[in-house]
Structure 1
Amino acid sequence: MSKLIASVDQRTNIVGQNRLELLIFRLIGEQPFGINVFKVREVLQCPELTEMPGASPCVRGIAHLRGVPITVIDLSEATGGKRIENLKTAFVLVTEYNRTTQGFLVGGVDRIVNINWEQIMPPPKGAGANHYLTAVTKVDNKLVQVIDVEKVFAEISPIDEEVSEDVKKQVTDIDLSALTVLVADDSSVARNQVKRALSSIGVNVELVNDGRQALNWLEEKAKEMGGDITSKVPLLISDIEMPEMDGYTLTTSVKNHPDLRKVHIVLHSSLSGVFNEAMVQKVGADQFIAKFHPDELASAVRKWMAEP
């Protein structure tokens, strides 16, 4: 099954073209789910698990992979479904996510599909605030659901979202009150994390759900201001994985726009693979920050909002 995962060098050819490779898997039943292949280091049949006393019920245990302990999370149970009972037929998706390596227990793995981000749509409106989806798409006439893994992590292992007092003191030397940061992220959890961190240092924040909305917002702002917007909106913080338009394509579009190209762009993503630094240079972004470290984010905001 590990042969499903191709080399990073091969897959980077589609990055920046608003395309992705989606690993299709199942939890319980036949409903297909998807995860970006770039998040996945390895796919293997569920190994022997060692229980963790006191851990969340969704944490099924620790897997020892080549001497390295990996926490294994039951993705079905973590998203409100039934526990995956038959570990002998289950698989573990070993992922790099938010600066950590962990495994997601799934019921079965299907295949990898190459798809355009424009075919990835936001979840339907009216689904409420408690669902676990960031996007949906169709593959072979079946609806594939993309799970909001950031929400899963936030519930199982909450992280410190506060900017330290030392960093707060460092940003008091510039007046941020007249400036706005645009934040684009398809995860409501991630958007709110960024907003709380930046609001704590006095930054005005506008939130949008995907790259298409971000580009439209910036273009409208340029029309209002009659050209260059950096005196009011000097910085865009963007996720990479987003429905309709990904962060790489958004960056390229902004940097090629005569009224937007001076906007600084920080790509802020849970994708922590080594390809990111090269892609930042390729598409013209100013910085890459792996999610989620509030002090790094606040320091980057101070740097790029202070620069002309």
Structure 2
Amino acid sequence: MAGVLDSVNQRTQLVGQNRLELLLFSLGGAQQYGINVFKVKEVLQCPALNEIPKRNPVVRGVAHIRGGTIPIMDMRQAIGSMPLDNISECFVIITEYNGSTQGFLVKSVERIVNMNWGAIHPPPKGAGRDNYLTAVTEVDNKLVEIIDVEKILAEVSPLAEDVSPEILNSSGGANHVNKHVLIVDDSTIARKQVQKVVQSLGMSTTVKKDGREALEYLESLLAEGKDPEHELLMIISDIEMPEMDGYTFTAEVRANPQLCNMHIILHTSLSGVFNEAMVKKVGADDFLAKFHPDELAKRVNQRVDQVCDGGEEVI
């Protein structure tokens, strides 16, 4: 266990190679779960928790860790099962999502595995719309489920999803008519959030759940004799996705002479200087941390202005 805990913060160098490392954990049963190590700040034995009034039942309390107060959420309860018991014997995975830090209570932490995003697949279609998975994979012939943390956070502590009236009133609605945006994200919640912002600006959207699916969509437009750069105002893509991550997707688009001028914003809950350097390395046009609807709307408006000033027309 000490080796797992000591190595969490050292595992970032595989990003950009369509690879990731998963921290495997258990919620008390035979099923194994995984979380991208790049989101993990620390793993520790569950500390003493303090109750907070009128808390969401999923939040078991707050902990004082390294000078900060962090909410601790019961991962098993968050996905619809019974709360974990004997929490003093459990572990907490400290994570950073969308610029905020929170801890997830789990029964045990197993180990770190090195994976290719190509081996990470979308949830089975029969899993239903209300599942808490973004992806599944297989490790040692056992199914590993990757939980949609963004969905949990949206339910426990909902973010503002509406664009402010000031931004909407300054968006120049006439310029937005017939603009079309491709949205790429493996999280159902994240796709809906981005789609809501774009549609509130008067634009239509196409959504895809991973980089490979998005690349196939662009290639299908080419096969139909269409120019994706003319068809689409821009692409807003997540980074962490099964099959093909956002870095690799961007690099593939840039490597195709018929797609290389597509405007791409990487929109992600990953943060940090390393991530911004990777964005530049693969040639994305912009980077935006999730989820700030006004900031996203501003970037979309800026792209509209850029296209209109350049005399381009996007159908």
Could you say whether these structures have the same fold, taking a TM-score greater than 0.5 normalized by the shorter chain as the test? yes
TM range (shorter): over 0.9
Aligned to 1:286: 285
2: CA distance, partners of 1:151 / 1:173? 31
Kept after mapping to 1: 8 A contact 2:117/2:244: yes
SS of the residue aligned with 2:88? Answer: coil
SS of the residue aligned with 2:61? Answer: strand
Kept after mapping to 1: 8 A contact 2:9/2:41: no
1: CA distance, partners of 2:242 / 2:107? 25
Aligned to 2:237: 238
SS of the residue aligned with 1:122? Answer: coil
2: CA distance, partners of 1:225 / 1:236? 19
Aligned to 2:94: 94
1:223–1:179: structure 2 CA closer, same or farther, 3 Å change rule?
farther
SS of the residue aligned with 1:11? Answer: coil
- For residue 4 of structure 1, the aligned residue among 4, 7, 19 is 7
SS of the residue aligned with 2:267? Answer: strand
2: CA distance, partners of 1:214 / 1:35? 23
Kept after mapping to 1: 8 A contact 2:79/2:132: yes
Q: Which amino acid aligns with 2:258?
A: D
Aligned to 1:74: 74
Question: Does residue 19 of structure 2 align to residue 19 of structure 1?
Answer: yes
SS of the residue aligned with 2:244? Answer: coil
Cα shift at 1:108: 0.4
Cα deviation code 1:126-179 (max 9, x no counterpart): 211111001000001110000001110111111110001111122216612222
Aligned to 2:295: 296
1:154–1:191: structure 2 CA closer, same or farther, 3 Å change rule?
same
Cα deviation code 1:193-218 (max 9, x no counterpart): 11111111111111111111100111
Kept after mapping to 1: 8 A contact 2:173/2:201: no
Aligned to 1:198: 198
Aligned to 1:48: 48
Correspondence 1:199-214 to 2 at 5 A: 199-214=199-214
Cα deviation code 1:41-89 (max 9, x no counterpart): 0011101110111010110111101220000000000101111111222
Aligned to 1:38: 38
Correspondence 1:40-189 to 2 at 5 A: 40-172=40-172, 175-189=175-189
Kept after mapping to 2: 8 A contact 1:91/1:107: yes
1: CA distance, partners of 2:52 / 2:73? 11
**TM-score normalised by the chain length of structure 1:** 0.95
2: CA distance, partners of 1:224 / 1:179? 19
Aligned to 1:260: 259
Aligned residues: 304
Q: Which amino acid aligns with 1:295?
A: D
RMSD: 1.3
Cα shift at 1:224: 2.7
Q: Which amino acid aligns with 1:198?
A: V
Q: Which amino acid aligns with 1:43?
A: V
2: CA distance, partners of 1:280 / 1:133? 26
2: CA distance, partners of 1:37 / 1:253? 24
1: CA distance, partners of 2:284 / 2:95? 25
Cα shift at 1:306: 3.0
Kept after mapping to 2: 8 A contact 1:28/1:82: no
Aligned to 1:229: 228
* Of 81-90 and 249-258, the range deviating more from structure 2: 81-90
Kept after mapping to 1: 8 A contact 2:48/2:88: no
SS of the residue aligned with 1:94? Answer: strand
Unaligned 5+ residue runs, structure 2? Answer: 308-315
**TM-score normalised by the chain length of structure 2:** 0.93
Which runs of 4 or more aligned residues in structure 1 lie more than 2 Å from their structure 2 counterparts after TM superposition?
A: 222-226, 304-308
